[in-house]
Structure 1
Amino acid sequence: MLSHLAAVVMSLSVVTTTPAGVTPGLVPAADREVVFTVDGTTTYGTLHVPAHRAGQRLRAALLLPGSGPSDRDGNQPPASPNTLSQSADALDTERVATLRFDKYGTGRTGLGAYRDRPEDLDYPAFVRQAQAAYDSLRDQPETNPHALMVVGHSEGAMTALLLGGTVHPRPTGLALLQPQAIRLLDLVALQLHAQIAEAARQGQFTPEQQREVDAAIDAAVTALREHRPVDAAGLPSAIAQLFETFQGTSRRFVESDDAVYPPHTVAALRPGTKVLLTCGTNDVQVPCVTTDALTAALCRAHVGGPGRVPLPGVDHLLHDADHPTTLAPVALGALRRFAGG
């Protein structure tokens, strides 16, 4: 990749020579800040444009982060896995431009219009923000509006599915990286049951106590869905606090996110849309089994491949034991093949 490019404006009558190692007419790779407004909130993002010929329109991808306060790079300080910034680097090698942005509650964007009323922030607001980001990417002078993709990680993959059936023009491809593939509260319950089972295996709970806690978790999920107060009497304190949070400021978000069943969103996708779905065999947050129904729905919708791609030894952040701070080679390979094929 060129480190710099000298731009010289000369009279046509002047004969010039091109320095060694510099390709005439090649614009070097660069990042720039992109700002757009949605629902009264100014949203800030990073557009990465790979090296390209002057005037060339590039394929481009919108990158969507996972759940919680994950910023444009895929980080939740102090944790900095850089899931999205590293994905942008991987896509650069395939000459794909990328846009990633600070969603509500993160980075320069913050809570925006919801600063004084965070309890009103729901999941559809995040979807609208992602739609506005897609429109912004479409309108960039370096991007080809008819060759757009959406790459989502975890909850961002569910948002990518929703965008795939609603935005215009429709994306040519969706990469669903370790996707939230079942309802939110079902996924939370699955994770909590797994944690309780491990605690019981270590002798922290008797079999009877494990059954009681599992029953209390299921009762709490039912209560939330029926808009009733959660009875935390049978729950360990950490789990009780989690459900208390779900009933507080986050209630509208949790209820509206839980209302989405990802396999039902697939019917709106354009047949032939290229879809990659990854699942890591070491992902305890989104086990591969949770993607079965979504995988079947994608098949019924007649979307294009590669479909589900298991990633051996890979965790939720797309790392493996040998690559704890960077994307695992098998994950990089799947993403690059999706973008390059």
Structure 2
Amino acid sequence: MSVRRRIVLAAMALMLVAGCSSNNATTSGSHNAWVEDEVTFVADGLTIHGTYRHQHGDQKGPAALLISESGRTDRNGDNNVAGPIGNMRQLAEYLSNHGVASLRYDKVGTGKTGLGPYADHPADVGSAVYTTGAKSAVRFLAGQAATDKDHLSVYTLGEGTVHAMTLADDTSAGAPKIHSLGLLQPLAGRYLDLITNRVKADMAAAVKGGQKTQAQADQVIAAWNAAVTEARTKGTVPAKLPESLSAILFPGNVKAVVEADAIDPLNLAARIPAGTPVLVTCSDTDGQANCADIKPFTDALAHTSLSVVALKGVNHVLRDDPTDNVGNYAKPGPLSPQLTVALDGFVGQ
């Protein structure tokens, strides 16, 4: 894969909302059957559609909110970059096999939710909109008759971890208490810093492989660094960027990117209530959540009841694939057994 394609795909993957009707029962003919209800709830004028997976009846039990990866990723973990991934649907099924109800939902711009009131100004959809959606989702889940409010958890992937940590620190009126957090392959630093690190790594690989001279690589890095500075200080982007970096940062997305970049996950991690059970996973082959890079993030979580699981050969969408190639994300396969073993020891906490 070319250096240009690696940078663009990695960044796109990193960027990658009441009434209900009953759908499938996973176990028929039993009062303990698991059913999936199509549900809706409203977040600041946006009607969000989701799936509430729970046991038939109102018997109380633990419940978990599932928040998908960054950007326009739907309730099942599918997005328009990588295709039908389905990892969040698989996570919901795993949780129900362990007695945990779940809510997963189509984020703004995806699935049945769509853009709603943002249809005429999609550039205004940024991190704050996603956080508002997550806050409405967790309140909806907490309000279900079968939800044990003392065992309400959040499981999330990638940039979704930012919104999950915000829920754990939410002390506003009516905000439910979050019992535990599953932060899977988390966004462990500021957004543009992570992209910068990826650009530098790809340029170093290009020099080593003979595709670029050191001078050419330095020129690309300098242009990107200048673009980051301009975005952060002025909220604008240069007219032209090399190596298709303009597909990562451009006038149509700069507002949302700068808004996301302003959030420091380390600060959010430090504000999670002490003693909260937290599971963090990373992988030696995940270009976005590599175990070698997340120590500052886990250090910020030292006051919690923290479990860190280092996966081997697992890609960013939680499957066994050491290539971590975005082109492979939609290939059918189970969640990595390494992940499910880690969850086995965490879900009951």
Question: Shorter-chain TM-score: what band?
Answer: 0.7 to 0.9
Residues 139/212 of structure 1: CA separation in 2 closer, same or farther (3 Å cut): same
Aligned length: 313
> Aligned runs of 1:132-151 on 2, under 5 Å?
132-151=136-155
CA displacement, residues 179-205 of structure 1 (integer Å, 9 cap, x when unaligned): 001001111111222222233333221
Distance 1:290 1:252 in 2: 27
Alpha-carbon distance in structure 2 between the residues aligned to 1:173 and 1:110: 30
Superimposed CA distance per residue, residues 188-245 of structure 1 (whole angstroms, 9 cap, x where no aligned partner): 1112222222333332211221122122221211111111643465622x1133222x
Partner-residue secondary structure (3-state), 2:340? helix
Q: Which residue of 1 aligns with 2:300?
A: 297
Unmatched 5+ stretches in structure 1:
6-21
Q: Would you say 1:41 and 2:46 are equivalent positions?
A: yes
Task: Tell me, yes or no, if structure 1 residue 3 matches structure 2 residue 27.
Answer: yes
Question: Which of 294, 302, 326 is equivalent to 2:334?
Answer: 326
Cα gap change, 1:250 to 1:231, in 2 (>3 Å): closer
- State how far apart, in whole Å, the 2-side matches of 1:228 and 1:133 are: 30
CA gap 1:321/1:38 in 2 versus in 1, 3 angstroms: closer
What is the CA-CA distance between 1:44 and the residue it aligns to? 0.2
Equivalent residues of 1:46, 1:100 under 8 A apart: yes
Q: Secondary structure at the match of 1:191?
A: helix
CA distance in 2, matches of 1:49, 1:229: 46
Deviation at 1:331, TM superposition (A): 1.0
8 Å Cα contact 2:279/2:346 also seen in 1: yes
In terms of Rg, which structure is larger?
Answer: 1
One-letter code aligned to 1:38:
A
Deviations 1:75-100 (A, max 9, x none): 11462221111111111121000100
Shift of residue 340, structure 1, vs aligned partner: 2.5
2:310 alignment partner AA = P
- CA offsets, 1:148-171, max 9 Å, x none? 001110011111111110063221
Which amino acid is 2:103 matched to? L
Q: Percent of aligned positions with the same letter in both sequences?
A: 35
Quick check: 1:269 aligned with 2:278? no
1:239 maps to a residue whose letter is L
Deviations 1:41-76 (A, max 9, x none): 11000011146xx54211000000111321000011
Q: Which residue of 1 aligns with 2:168?
A: 164
Which digits, 9 at most, give the CA deviation of each residue in 1:243-295, with x for residues without a partner?
22xxx232221111111101101233221110001001110122223321110
Contact 1:62 1:100 in 2 (8 A): yes
* Contact map agreement 2:127 2:259 (CA 8 A) in 1: yes
Superposition RMSD in Å: 2.0
User: Which residue of structure 2 aligns with residue 240 of structure 1?
Assistant: 246
Specify which of 84, 102, 107 is matched with residue 103 of structure 1: 107
- Give the 3-state SS of the residue equivalent to 2:249 in structure 1: helix
Amino acid at match of 1:230: V
- Given candidates 76, 80, 85, the residue that maps to 1:81 is 85
Query: Which residue identity does 2:118 align to in structure 1?
Result: Y
Structure 2, gaps ≥5 residues long: 1-24, 323-330
1:275/1:304 contact within 8 Å kept: yes
Letter in 2 for 1:326: P
The alignment partner of 2:63 has SS state of: strand
1:67 aligns with 2:70: yes
Secondary structure of 1:99's aligned partner = strand
Matched to 2:320, the amino acid is D
Quote the Cα distance in structure 2 between the aligned partners of 1:229 and 1:253. Answer: 11
Partner SS state of residue 305, structure 1: strand
Paired position in structure 1 for 2:190: 183
Letter of the aligned partner of 1:76 in structure 2?
Answer: N
Range with bigger deviation, 180-189 or 279-288: 279-288
- 1:312 alignment counterpart: 312
Provide the rounded CA distance (Å) in 2 between the counterparts of 1:158 and 1:152.
9
